[in-house]
Structure 1
Amino acid sequence: MKDSLGKKLEQYTLKKPQEVLIVRGEIENKSDVILIFKGFSSSLMHPTAFDPDIPVLPDVFKIISIDRVASPYNPDSPRYIQQNLSLSDMEFLLSDIGL
């Protein structure tokens, strides 16, 4: 079974624990910002389910951009590695590390 994009992004942060991903997008015409760090995802704009098996980033999520930020993440002063990556840019990084 092929892993979902959300699961791949979580796995990316397990392989790159020095990075935090900030994923901006839409689901059902509602904006959302999802933070992914060390294998866990959390919505910054909507409630996040307590059960880690419930995807925070479902397959219908339309990604607008992804930022790579150095950890520890400080929302008042983020240290960006790369900003405004497209989905195809991120897919290249995922494949580069075997995801």
Structure 2
Amino acid sequence: MNIGKQLEQYTLKNPQEVLLVTIAVDGEEEEISIFKGFSSSLTRSTPYDPDIPIIPETARVIKIDRLASPYHPLNPRYIQENLTPIQK
């Protein structure tokens, strides 16, 4: 199971959390929000088809931030910051 699906599963089990995931794909950084099993790109368009992974297999996860929901971009409530996939 790819990291994106694993993180989506985590948010299904922890619906009180939002994950902000920073990844690198082909040298470009992207930010992904994951909440209640759904991923959404914050830096590019999100595919309509939920079967298309937002985090590709070739992506390198830079960091994962855990936030309390609801997520407010101007006033985020961090639970933990700068996690790596190994710590998750």
Give the TM interval when normalised to the shorter protein: over 0.9
Which structure shows the higher strand fraction? 2
1:58 deviates by 1.1
Give TM-score scaled by structure 1 length: 0.86
SS in 2 for 1:24: strand
1:7 aligned to which of 5, 12, 15: 5
Q: Deviations over 1:11-45 (max 9, x none)?
A: 00000000000001110111100000000001100
* Structure 2, unaligned runs of 5 or more: none
More helix by share: 1
**Higher Cα Rg, which structure:** 1
Name segments (4+ residues, structure 1) moved above 4 Å.
none
CA RMSD of aligned residues (A): 0.6
Equivalenced residues, count: 88
Where 1:88 maps in the other structure, the secondary structure is coil
Residue identity (%): 55
In structure 1, runs of 5+ residues without a counterpart are 91-99
TM-score relative to the length of structure 2: 0.97
Which residue pairs with 1:34 in the alignment? 32
User: Which secondary structure state, in structure 1, belongs to the residue aligned with residue 4 of structure 2?
Assistant: helix
